[in-house]
Amino acid sequence: MGGTAEIIDGKAFAAGLRAQIAEKVAALKDAHGLTPGLAVVLVGEDPASQVYVRSKGKQTVEVGMNSYEHRLPETTSQDELMALIARLNADPSVHGILVQLPLPGGLDAEAVINAIDPAKDVDGFHILNVGRLGTGQKAMVPCTPLGCLMMLRDHLGSLSGLNAVVVGRSNIVGKPMAQLLLAESCTVTIAHSRTRDLAAVCRGADILVAAVGRPEMIPGDWIKPGATVIDVGINRIERDGRNVLVGDVDFASAVQVAGAITPVPGGVGPMTIACLLANTLTAACRAAGLPDPEGLTP
Ligand SMILES: Nc1nc(=O)c2c([nH]1)NC[C@@H]1CN(c3ccc(C(=O)N[C@@H](CCC(=O)O)C(=O)O)cc3)C=[N+]21
* Residue of minimum CA distance from atom 2 in ligand 1: 100
251 in any annotated domain? yes
Mark whether 263 and 146 lie in a shared domain.
Answer: yes
Q: Structurally, how many domains does the chain consist of?
A: 2
Q: Are residues 78 and 154 in the same domain?
A: no
Query: CB-based contacts of 182: which residues, under 8 Å, 6+ apart?
Result: 188
Q: Is residue 6 part of a domain?
A: no
Asked whether 123 lines ligand 1 (CB < 6 A), one says yes
The predicted structure's pLDDT at residue 2: 61
pTM: 0.98
Q: Return the pLDDT at 187.
A: 99
Residue 43 and residue 158 in one domain: no
The ipTM value here is 0.97
Q: What is the pLDDT of residue 133?
A: 98
Residue 182's CATH number: 3.40.50.720
Ligand-binding annotation for 168, yes or no, is yes
Is 246 in contact with 266 (CB distance < 8 Å)? no
Asked whether residue 131 is domain-assigned, the answer is no
Residues 54 and 147 in one domain: no
Asked if residue 245 has its Cβ within 6 Å of ligand 1, the reply is yes
Assess whether 146 and 69 both reside in one domain.
no
Does 257 map to a domain?
yes
Query: Of 101, 117, 133, which one is at a domain's C-terminal end?
Result: 117
What is the reported pLDDT for 3? 81
Residues classed as catalytic = 56, 100, 123
Give 66-133 as a DSSP string: EEEEEEE-TT--HHHHHHHHHHHHH-TT--EEEE-SSPPTTS-HHHHHHHS-GGGBTT--SHHHHHHH
* Structural domain for 55, as ranges: 33-117
Q: Is residue 101 part of a domain?
A: yes
The CA 279 to ligand 1 mean position distance, Å, reads 16
Q: Is residue 45 part of a domain?
A: yes
Residue type, 206: D
- How far apart are alpha carbons 270 and 276 in whole angstroms? 10
Question: Residue 123 carries which side chain, given as an amino acid letter?
Answer: D
**Largest alpha-carbon pair distance within the chain?**
59
Atom of ligand 1 nearest to the CA of 125: 1
The answer to whether residues 199 and 104 belong to one domain is no
Residues 256 and 190 in one domain: yes
Least Cα distance to 187 among 209, 207, 161 occurs for 161
Residues contacting 159, CB < 8 A, separation 6+: 152, 153, 181, 184, 185, 186, 207
What CATH number is given to the structural domain containing 71?
3.40.50.10860
Ligand 1, atom 31, residue with closest C-alpha: 269
Q: Is the Cα torsion angle 229, 230, 233, 236 positive or negative in sign?
A: positive
Would residue 83 count as lying in a domain? Answer: yes
Tens place of pLDDT per residue across the chain (298 aa): 568 999 999 999 999 999 999 999 999 999 999 999 999 999 999 998 999 999 999 999 999 999 999 999 999 999 999 999 999 999 999 999 999 999 999 999 999 999 999 999 999 999 999 999 999 999 999 999 999 999 999 999 999 999 999 999 999 999 999 999 999 999 999 999 999 999 999 999 999 999 999 999 999 999 999 999 999 999 999 999 999 999 999 999 999 999 999 999 999 999 999 999 999 999 999 999 999 999 999 9
- Both 45 and 90 in one domain: the answer is yes
Best CA proximity match to 24, nearest among 273, 270, 290: 290
H-helix or E-strand spanning residue 49: helix 47-62
Tell me if 96 sits within 8 A of 122, measured CB to CB: yes
To test the ligand 1 pocket, which listed residue (18, 52, 53) has its Cβ within 8 A of the most ligand atoms? 52
Exposure class string for 170-179: b at 16+ Cβ within 10 A, else e: bebbbbbbbb
Give a yes or no: residue 221 inside a domain. yes
Residue located nearest, by CA, to atom 24 of ligand 1: 265
Bond from prior residue into 265 cis (ω within 30 degrees of 0) = yes
Q: Do 169 and 53 share a domain, yes or no?
A: no
Domain identity same for 111 and 149: no
**Are 256 and 218 in a shared domain?**
yes
